[in-house]
Amino acid sequence: MVEPGKLILVPTPIGNLDDITLRAIAVLKEADLILAEDTRTSSKLLNHLGIEKKATSHHKFNEHKIAGSIVTKIAEGKTVALISDAGTPAISDPGFLLVRECVKNEIEVECLPGATALIPALAVSALPTDRFVFEGFLPRKKGRQKRLQQLTEEVRTMVFYESPFRLVKTLTHLAEHFGSDRNACVCRELSKLFEEVKRGYLTELADFYTENPPKGEVVIVVEGLPKKGKNE
């Protein structure tokens, strides 16, 4: 009887290519198959690490279609490594559906510790870190206002991911729902050469990035509702 393989989620650097663990490198070298969100991006990392393997595409547009075939390969004894363009797979990136399918089929799933953008941003924000909530990307249109309204009473520090092209719009919406004097922090290009951390009120940050259009992926950290209700 063939021993089943397993699925391994491998975090990849969010910017600096040297931010990868020795264990992650070993897994990528030994895996029978590497699934990648964008094979063009993954090829740069693999080349940097000296790994001569071609990755197979696994992204939000095909993950439903190929999940079954991947599970079959693992059941046949293959070890599959899943990576995203940056950070930990399944965290605001493809991966959840494949993990769920593997679990349904009693296939072992392992996740290595490693890079993620939300923790460094939270740590440098100077906002409370004892309790926080990760919201990922807000809905672009449908459900956006409803979600923001639900968060108006959130007392924990909130962490959001955002595109540089929607940053000012999102900061403006956050200010409208949470109050113009709510403390926040915008972290941009984390771990890269031009890493930037800006702290201030939501309206101040919106004004700054209106004057200075940002580049690179963004993490927004927002203060929870103050206990004394200063935004009321």
Q: Which 3 state secondary structure label does DSSP give 22?
A: helix
- What is the chain's mean pLDDT, rounded? 94
List, for residues 53-85, the tens digit of each pLDDT value. 999 999 988 989 999 999 999 999 999 999 999
- 8 Å CB contact between 202 and 178: yes
CA of residue 177 relative to chain centroid, distance:
24
Among 55, 9, 23, smallest CA distance to 36 is for: 55
pLDDT above 80 for 103:
yes
Domain boundary among the residues 111, 136, 169 is at 111
**How high is the pLDDT of residue 144?**
95
The one-character DSSP state at 214 is -
Question: Rounded CA gap, 138 and 162, in Å?
Answer: 8
Residues 10 and 61 in one domain: yes
C-alpha span between 177 and 75 (Å, rounded): 49
Could you give the 3-state DSSP secondary structure of residue 141? coil
- d(CA 213, CA 168) in angstroms, rounded, equals 9
- Kindly state the greatest CA–CA separation across the chain: 66
98 and 159 inside one domain: no
> What domain range is 184 assigned to?
118-222
The pLDDT of residue 217 is above 50: yes
pLDDT score of 1: 52
Q: Which amino acid is at 127?
A: L
Cα-Cα-Cα-Cα dihedral sign, residues 133, 137, 143, 148: positive
Same domain, 99 and 154: no
pLDDT in tens, 80-102: 999 999 999 999 999 999 999 99
Q: Give the list of residues 6+ apart from residue 215 with CB closer than 8 angstroms, or none.
A: 164, 188, 189
Asked if the structure places residue 72 within a domain, the reply is yes
Residue 60 confidence (pLDDT): 87
Q: Give the CATH number, domain containing residue 129.
A: 3.30.950.10
What tokens appear for 164 in the block? Answer: 């540089």
Q: Is residue 150 part of a domain?
A: yes
* 36 and 14, same domain (yes or no): yes
Residues 88 and 151 in one domain: no
* Digit-coded pLDDT (tens) for 175-189: 999 999 999 999 999
Mean pLDDT of 142-151: 95
CA 92 remoteness from chain centre: 5
Q: What is the CATH number of the domain that holds 97?
A: 3.40.1010.10
Residues 53 and 133 in one domain: no
If you compute the radius of gyration of the chain from its CA atoms, what whole number of angstroms results? Answer: 20
The Cα–Cα gap between 19 and 191 comes to 8
